[in-house]
Amino acid sequence: MGEGAARGFRLTQGDGPDRYEQYVAPVMEPFVEALLDVAGLRPGLALIDVACGTGFVARGAAVRMAGGGSRVVGVDIVPGMLRTAAARAADDGVVVEWQEAEAGDLPYAAGAFDVVLCQQGMQFFPDRGAAVAEFVRVLRPGGRVAVTTWVEAVRSPFFAAQQQAYEQVGGVELGDWCGSAFGCSAAELTGLFRAYGLGDVVAREVVAEVHLPALSEYVPGCLAATPWGQAVAEARPDGLARVGEVVRGLLAPYASADGAVTLPFVSSLVTGVRRGGAETRI
């Protein structure tokens, strides 16, 4: 991949985090639910959501775990994402602790949590092994880790169209940076889980048909909610508009009369249990 692929996913400009909350939520929702479904959640547990972004997973977990002395923590490296997360949690009336920290250096004691979750963040970590090592360190014996990562972009037409459009408008390096979102396979995750001492490792695919509103309205907002969209907008005044035109053209065969689309999205979901105690169960 090009140098840009190493930049990860950091929305640091303007209203990027708010746009992420608005435009990425429809795509993330079914995968957030699938992640929470396998996490063994119940009141009284302690949970950490690593690379929490604007808090989709942490807020959902807080609702499911309400009462009984539960603890939900959301961790991210981007202050703006955490500010948006905190504001949304307050609006929803759920209690979540928000902490700025890196996945490979979590500021928590060993065995502090029953559940570690990571929704679409692992592929952007500079050292995935260090992140998994931290997941295991902060997890109590018998606790569970659950992680999602997108499969290859070609299996999700919206993502495939985005990557092709960024490469066409912004060049190979920008296309590679966008492509880094799809660069962590289930095979890599299962290998890392086992290498760092997790047992009962299971990998599965989650496929969801997601309805998106009219592409003429949705695509510009969604593109502006990604770091590669922000990069192409900085590089050329018409960059984001040109990317949007290409995306809409590629997705035109899927569009209904009003411009809306229903598209498949595919993610890997990998779980593991820390050895040394009884598994945390509902």
pLDDT along the chain (282 residues), means of 10: 43 70 91 97 97 96 92 95 94 96 96 98 95 98 97 96 89 85 95 97 97 92 84 83 92 94 97 74 34
Q: What is the pLDDT at residue 277?
A: 53
Task: Please name the residues in contact with 139: beta carbons below 8 A apart, sequence gap of 6 or more.
Answer: 111, 113, 114, 115, 116, 145, 274
Nearest residue to 162 via CA among 138, 179, 183, 143: 179
Report the alpha-carbon distance of residue 121 to residue 181 in Å, rounded.
Answer: 9
Contact call for residues 8 and 228 (beta carbons, < 8 A): no
Q: Report the distance separating Cα 5 and Cα 219, nearest Å.
A: 22
Burial class (CB in 10 A: 0-12, 13-18, 19+), 4: buried
pTM for the structure as a whole = 0.92
Name the burial class of residue 39, with classes exposed (0-12), middle (13-18) and buried (19+) by CB atoms within 10 angstroms of its CB.
Answer: buried
* Beta carbons within 10 angstroms of residue 91's beta carbon: 9
**Predicted pLDDT at 235:** 81
- Helices 227-235 & 172-179 angle (0-180, nearest 10): 160
* Residue 116: exposure state from Cβ atoms within 10 A (0-12, 13-18, ≥19): buried
- Packed helices 16-23 and 215-223: angle between N→C axes, nearest 10 degrees: 140
Q: Which residue has the tokens 């009003």?
A: 258
Q: What is the pLDDT of residue 232?
A: 82
User: What pLDDT shows up at residue 7?
Assistant: 57
Supply the pLDDT for residue 278: 46
